[in-house]
Amino acid sequence: MSELILKPKGTNDALPEESYRWQYVESVLRDAAADFGYREIRFPTFEYTELFVRGVGDTTDVVQKEMFTFTDRGGRSVTLRPEGTASAVRSYLENSLYGPGLPVKLFYIAPNFRGEQPQAGRYREFHQFGVEYLGSPCPAADAEVIGVYSDILERLSIKNIRLQINSIGCPKCRPVFHAALKAYFQSKKDRLCGSCLERMERNPLRILDCKSPVCGEIAADSPVGLDYLCDECKNHFEETKSMLDAMGIGYEINPKIVRGLDYYTRTVFEFVSTDLGAQSTVCGGGRYDGLIETLGGHPTPGLGFAAGLERMLLVMDAQGIPIPKPEGCRIFVASLGSAADKPVQKLVNDLRKLGVKAERDTMGRGLKAQMKYADRLGAAFSMVLGDNELEAGKASIKDMATGSTFECLLSAEDIKNAVT
C-alpha cells in the first residue's frame, strides 16, 4: 500500500458534515450584498506578480514575506492571489466596468493564499468575502460599505463585535505625519526589529502594524495621525462619523489602525471580536483613492473591505450560534429480490426529478442491512419494493420516527404527496 499524501500545512478540508455551515454563511453574504446593490465578480486564482507589488505595496509583509510566487512556463512571474482588491480593480480596468457609469459595486467570495505561520483563524489558504465600491469620493460611500458588514453581523446574529475606525490622511497631509513618525521612531531605533528599521525609511506607517510586542509597545506612544489631517481629510472623517451616527452604527476611534496594505487612504476600519483572542479582527477595510491610478486607470476613488469566512465561523461557534442543517434523505426505497432492482432505480430517479431527496442501496446489501443504512442516512420515510409490491402496484411507507405505516401507489407523484 502506498503512503498517504496529506494536505499541505495551513490548509483545511471542508468535510461534508460541515460544508453546509459554509453554504449557509455564503448564502447570507450573497443575499446581503444583493440587497445593497453589489454584483458578484470572479477573478483568477493567480495573477502576474507585478499586480500585487504595485497594488498591495512592496513595503508590506504580504509582498515581502507572504506571497506564493513562482515562474510560469513562459518565464513570467505569477503569484497566488494574497488578497482580492487588487484583482477586482485589475478586472474593473481590463474589462472597462466603468463604461455604463459610476459607482461600480462589486462583491466576491474567494480563496486567498499567504505563507503565514498557521494558527487559530489564520491559514495559508483562507477564504474571504469582500466588497468594492468604485467611483465615489463621498463619506456616504464609506458609511455604506461599513453598513454592509454591520448588516451581515445582524443577519448572522453575531454579537460582541466592535467597529473601530480611523483616518490615515491623504497624499497631501500624510507626508507631514510620516515625518513625525520617522523622527519618533528614529529616537527608538535601537529597540526596533529589523523589519521595522527598513520600514522606518520606506514607510514608517507600517511600523504601527508590526506584530512584535516590543515594536507595539514603542508604537503605543507614537504620534497620532488624526492630529496631522488636512482640513479635507478632517471634514471627510467627521462626515463619515455623522453618517454612521445617522445609521445607528456604533464605533470607536482607534488612531493606531493603519491596515496592512499600502493602498489605503483616509478612512480605515476594523470589526473586532472579543471571542477570538489575539486574532480578533474579523473584517477590515477602508478607502483606497489612489489604487486605480496606480494600476493604470484614471484617478478614481474607491473603498471596500474583506472579511474572513473561517473567522466568521469561529466566532459563530464561540457564541453558540446555531446554523440550520439542510434536510437529509426524505425517503429510502429498499429493493427485495432482483426483479425490483430496476423499478427501484427508476422510482428513485423519478422522485429526485420531482425534488424529493430519495436514496437507495447500491452496495448489494440484504434487506436488514438496507434498513440500517436508511437509519444511518436519517431517512424520514422508507419503503420496500419486492415482487408483491410490484404486482399490486402499491407499497407500505414507514414513518421512521413513529414506526407508523400507510399504503401508497407506486408512482413518484403519489409518493411525493405522501411524504412531503
Average pLDDT over residues 318-330: 94
Burial pattern 109-121, b for ≥16 Cβ within 10 A else e, equals: bbebbbebeeeeb
Amino acid, single-letter form, for residue 220: A
Per-residue pLDDT band at 279 (split at 50, 70, 90): low
Q: Is the pLDDT assigned to residue 269 strictly greater than 70?
A: yes
- Using alpha carbons, select from 156, 121, 71, 165 the residue that is nearest to residue 310: 121
pLDDT value at residue 260? 66
Per-residue pLDDT band at 274 (split at 50, 70, 90): confident
| pLDDT digit string, tens, across residues 143-166 | 999 999 999 999 999 999 999 999
Domains and CATH numbers, the chain: 16-173+229-318 (3.30.930.10), 331-419 (3.40.50.800)
Task: Tell me the C-alpha distance between 373 and 360, whole Å.
Answer: 9
Q: Percent of the chain, pLDDT > 70?
A: 99
Per-residue pLDDT band at 172 (split at 50, 70, 90): very high
pLDDT value at residue 88? 98
Find the largest Cα–Cα distance for the chain: 94
Q: Is the pLDDT assigned to residue 46 strictly greater than 90?
A: yes
pLDDT value at residue 118? 79
pTM of the complete model:
0.90
Copy the grid coordinates of residue 150.
454591520
Burial pattern 283-318, b for ≥16 Cβ within 10 A else e, equals: bbbbbbbbbbebbebeebbbbbbbbbbbbbbbbbee
pLDDT value at residue 362? 96
The residue with cell 471542508 is 14
pLDDT value at residue 278? 64
- Using alpha carbons, select from 406, 335, 346, 409 the residue that is nearest to residue 373: 335
Q: Choose between 122 and 273: higher pLDDT.
A: 273
Per-residue pLDDT band at 178 (split at 50, 70, 90): confident
Q: Is the pLDDT assigned to residue 213 strictly greater than 90?
A: no
